[in-house]
Chains A and B, each alone.
Chain A
């Protein structure tokens, strides 16, 4: 699996947009970009994923650069409950390549 690089920590004010960057310069053509988060010691929570087009759901938006070498997760109106470790993962969508390889992630702290 391609490796990803994320800043170890970020801070954001409550109510503002949180923009979390991720570099995945060695991503392959068949690999998707996934974002998960882990709040405190709970089970990881799926947020969003995409291949090359920008994606949006009720939780977040995912912006993938045209060359697919980096992406940004956007939480439009961060709340205190968004404080968590955010993981950017690349993974192929094929049999035998199903496992998620977690890096160290970004520890996002939302401040009141």
Chain B
């Protein structure tokens, strides 16, 4: 059973370009979470999605960031017009389709570098 998959693992973008980060949850999981870890800082929650629904986006920056989890295909975290401050590791996690004390399983992360 494959774990959470993220791609690309490393992404370099110039200032002003768009970044698209992909996350495929574990098989059977329909809840996806995105977290960001800035250099030398802790992990911060960004957004929680279920299939075709955003449940909690309280950690998303107000501008330039968006996330989706379509009925088919991976979850996408999109960053428009990237700036140097967006350089960070972005982790995706997934959990089973139910409320409860379910653990979240994390992917290996995408390391975004903005030049």
Q: Mark B3-23, 1 if CB is under 8 A from A, else 0.
A: 010000000000000000000
- Give the contacting residue for A98; candidates B31, B35, B89, B109; CB below 8 A: B31
Say whether A34 contacts B103, CB under 8 Å. yes
Residues of B contacting A102 in the complex (Cβ-Cβ under 8 angstroms): 35, 42-45
Interface Cβ pair total, 8 Å cutoff: 65
Question: Which residues of B approach A to under 8 Å, CB–CB?
Answer: 4, 31, 33, 35, 42-45, 48, 55-56, 58-59, 89, 91, 93, 95, 99-109, 111
Residues of A near B33 (CB, < 8 A) are 98-100
Give the complex CA separation of A104 and B31 in angstroms. Answer: 25
Q: How far is the CA of A102 from the CA of B109 in the complex (A)?
A: 16
Q: Assess the B109–A41 pair: CB atoms within 8 A.
A: yes
* CB-based contact B105/A99 at 8 Å: no
- A44 to B42, Cβ gap below 8 A? no
User: Number of contact residues on A: which range applies?
Assistant: 20 to 34
- CB contacts (< 8 Å) of B107 on chain A: these are 43
Nearest neighbor of B95 in chain A, beta-carbon distance: A98
Secondary structure call for the B interface: strand
Q: Are A105 and B42 in contact, with the CB atoms below 8 A?
A: yes
Smallest Cβ distance from B3 to chain A, in angstroms?
A: 9
CB pair A42–B108 under 8 Å, yes or no, is yes
CA distance A99 to B48 in the complex (A): 7
> Within residues 65 to 112 of chain A, which ones have a CB less than 8 A from any CB in chain B?
87, 93-96, 98-105
Cross-chain contact A96 with B104 (CB below 8 angstroms): no
Contacts of B56 in A (CB 8 A): 96, 98-99
A–B complex contacts, Cβ < 8 Å, 16 sampled: A43-B109, A44-B106, A45-B106, A46-B103, A46-B105, A49-B103, A51-B101, A98-B48, A98-B56, A98-B95, A98-B99, A98-B104, A99-B58, A100-B43, A102-B43, A103-B42
Contacts of B104 in A (CB 8 A): 46, 98, 100
